[in-house]
Amino acid sequence: MDSGDRKQNDSLRPRKASVWASCPPFIKRFHWIAGMYLRFARRIKDGKERRYWSIVESQRCAGGKVVQRPVLYLGEISDSQREEWCRVIEVLDQEDDKYRQLALFPADRGVPEHARDYSVQVRLGAMALHRPRQWGACWLACQLYGQLGLDRFWAARLPDSREGTCWKHILQTTVCYRLIDPGSEWRLHRLWFEQSAMGDLLGEDYSLVEKNALYRCLDKLLPHKEALFSHLRQRWHDLFNAEFDILLYDLTSTYFECDPPDSDADKRRFGYNRDKRNDCVQVVIALVVTPDGFPLAYEVLPGNTADNTTLRLFLQKIEAQYGKARRIWVMDRGIPTEESLSEMRKADPPIGYLVGTPKGRLTKLEKALLKLPWQEVRKGVDVKLLPRDEELYVLARSHDRVLKERGIRRRKLKWLWARLKEISAMQLSRDELLMKLGAARAKAPKAWRLVDVEVASQGVTFSYALNRKKLKIVRGREGRYLLRTNLCGKDPAELWRFYIQLTEIEAAFKNLKDDLELRPIYHQLIQRIEAHIFVAFLAYCLHVTLRARLKPLASGLTPRAVLDKFAAIQMLDVHFPITDGRTIILTRRTELNADQKLLARQLKLDLPPQLPPRITATGHVVGAHAPAL
């Protein structure tokens, strides 16, 4: 780091008076002085210098050694965001921790006369810590659940049973579990609930996660799916001022490692598998989200459903749910058909669309497009506009995408060329040669198309050569996308921005499958499979809410990173035996460290007060509140 960078970092470091020099020697040996500040790392990307910011904590340890501990990675942030983080860091560093002394009367000493009416004698040597459990992430998940109004929504739709089963709390527990540490219902019942503070936060005991109750709760959810979609739409608007005139639509699949079902009504079927598991049955999930990633609706379809047969269903579904409006649907190629696009143009009011096109259409229009000049619509993006009938074709070229796709193609082609050279030098039988060539083709299929490989009809020799004609065609199409729309009056730059927002729905599928572990799905009944996906959808809504809260603060701060930070906050029971045979139980959470305080302040979250003490006698609680100590 040069001197200018050091000066900038020093300017971001909070100023505070040093207390180290004034500490007595025996304090110096054990005392740590902590200070947080912003630090950036440089990286040259696409010929430009980029700065990626982190919050680090400087700690002075024994012997005067100073170490820096990374606290949070923020990524690229704006000047205003950087100033806000600096302000919060300074506020936290300037706070003085206030400690309140608590006078306890040990069992081996007498109690003063004035305190006899409200005192107890505690056997301090017998103090014990019980049931350490994870509190912070559970509390954060419950806060997100409340911000979306899901507690109120389900309270009106899942009343308690006559036996006292609290269905709304069971659902809240399963949703928070899916967000924090996803797994099976059996694991929730057997292990996770006891290791979490969900019971303390909801005022429930272990009976809440009785095994059969968890499964029976799933059976009560699906009839309320449409009402939930309407509720979420209103909450997205109220919380984040979300707009719904542009909708992103795509499909994914999730597979099952089980035998094909016998029932014709079962939605688990063989079909085109996006996870390359064509040997497994699957279901298809269709999802609609806004450009900001807020989900509006989803549907579980049979696994053999073709993509181009789903659009009409969702157009009708959204119109019935939210009424007729001028909406723009953004989709990838393969979803709309000519018939469905014609219906969208003739609708009243017309339904706008922006879709990608198959490569074959680019070949058909290539001659007409070659005559047109490139127009720069924004830095790094050029377009060619070709009106046809009632539509507009937009050939977009992104310089960043050209470099990215070209780099991927070069790496794959380089690997394939080296692998073919290795195989040609091996002593193999004909079958072994064909197997190795097939494996190389499967690993780099796009690069394989650029190489002409010929295997001798007899013997174990083969030849390979680069097909320069195909390479020239591929180079000319890298980073280029042919879009099709009926929004003829829209700015081409805006159309490109709409299309690249399809990455939001791809991120939604990735989060559902990876972060929230949508699979494996252990259920055998199709209604419970759909309920399992419904719970994952609710957990994704919490994930999106947290991400929307973090987005104005720092682009590099992810919901998973924040949940992991809060998960370090523990709760435990401190047991103080009393001389009269009873026990004082103090249920306490651990104090927040600097990282957690910083996040809580930035997210504007106020921690609840500690739970009141309890006093037990003969193994059961006899008072909800202990005397003041």
What are 360-364's contacts with CB under 8 Å, separation 24+? 361/482, 361/484, 362/395, 362/477, 362/480, 362/482
Neighbouring C-beta atoms of residue 611, cutoff 10 Å: 14
Name the pLDDT band for 54 (thresholds 50, 70, 90).
confident
Three-state DSSP class for 41?
strand
Render pLDDT for 349-378 as a digit per residue (tens, 0 to 9): 889 999 988 877 888 888 888 888 988 888
Check pLDDT > 80 for residue 623. no
For the record, the structure tokens of 187 come out as 């694991």
The amino acid that residue 266 corresponds to is D
pTM given for the model = 0.80
**Phi/psi at 351 (nearest 5 deg)?**
-100, 120
Cβ neighbours of residue 383 closer than 8 Å, sequence gap 6 or more: 374, 375, 377, 394, 395, 396, 397, 492, 496
In angstroms and rounded to an integer, the radius of gyration of the C-alpha atoms of the chain is 31
Element (H, E) at 453: strand 451-455
Asked if 489 contacts 350 with a C-beta cutoff of 8 angstroms, the reply is no
**Distance, C-alpha 475 to centroid of its chain:** 35
Higher pLDDT, 27 or 76: 76
pLDDT at 59 over 80: no
Residues with Cβ within 8 Å of 296's Cβ and at least 6 positions away in sequence, in order, are 229, 232, 233, 244, 247, 288, 289, 290, 318
Given a cut of 90, whether residue 499 has pLDDT beyond it is: no
Segment 146-167 mean pLDDT? 93
Burial-class residue 450 by CB neighbours within 10 Å (0-12, 13-18, 19+): buried
Residue 49 pLDDT: 83
Which is nearest to 356 in space by CA: 382, 334, 337, 372?
A: 334
Give the number of C-alpha atoms closer than 13 A to the C-alpha of residue 225, restricted to the C-beta side.
19
- pLDDT of res. 626: 33
CA pair distance 569, 200, nearest whole angstrom: 14
Q: CA geometry: angle at 501 spanning 247 and 329, to 5°?
A: 25
Helix and strand totals (H; E) in the chain: 22, 21
Q: What is the DSSP string of 126-139?
A: G-EEEEEEE-HHHH
